[in-house]
Structure 1
Amino acid sequence: MNMPTETKQAYQEKVKAQLDKLNAQIDELKAKADQAKADASVEFNTKLEELYTRRDAAQAKFAEMQQASEDAWHEIREGFENAWNELGKAFENAQRQFGQ
């Protein structure tokens, strides 16, 4: 098995920055949803709920990875990256749908 050379701390710092950036982008979408017409607002809110659910899953996996030992964090990393990819897809879909 080929182990990544990236340290747990370096990876966590990179992921934290990505999560912070995505949270800010989700907040921007929420602000736009709040300004949308009533009919569009329902659609925005549905997409935002999906984003929040996927974001929470990614943050939970990130927290799990932070608690893992140096030896075990690589195994948890794969689960986090899957959750992160799902969050990214949901965000891109929301951006496309609302012309961002």
Structure 2
Amino acid sequence: MKTKDEYIESLASELKEWSAQIDHLAAKADNASAHLKHQYIEELNELRTRQHEASLKIKELEEAGGDAWETITETADKVWSELRSCIASVVSKFNDNKPI
């Protein structure tokens, strides 16, 4: 099992990678047709909202201790899983140039 610091560092590293991926998708959206661009921007806004939630969860984890730590790690795992799925879905749509 990871220590608190290792767990937080792992989540922060993954969030940093996702941030770069979201930035890459935003650049790709800028080059899309007007119709696709609008849809992509909506999807990117959802990703950025989830990204912000994940960032806040890291702050909660840094401040948590004891029983709160266990509860927050459970919700953090859920937030990460949802963000991971959302990013995979959006990446797939962008790569296929499909309407969202």
Provide TM-score, normalisation by structure 2. Answer: 0.88
Instruction: Give the corresponding residue for 1:33.
Output: 29
Within 1, Cα distance between the matches of 2:56 and 2:44?
A: 18
4+ runs deviating over 3 angstroms: none
Within 2, Cα distance between the matches of 1:98 and 1:37?
A: 12
- 1:94 and 2:94 equivalent? no
Deviation string 1:50-86 (CA, Å, 9 cap, x unpaired) is: 1011111111111111111255322211101111111
% of aligned pairs identical?
35
Q: Is the 8 A contact 1:8 1:70 kept in 2?
A: no
Within 1, Cα distance between the matches of 2:54 and 2:74?
A: 11
- Paired residues, what number? 96
**Structure 1 segments unaligned to the other structure (5+ residues):** none
CA RMSD of aligned residues (A): 1.4
**Structure 2 segments unaligned to the other structure (5+ residues):** none
Q: 1:67 aligns with which of 59, 63, 66?
A: 63
Provide TM-score, normalisation by structure 1. Answer: 0.88
Higher RCO (Cα < 8 Å, 6 or more apart) = 2
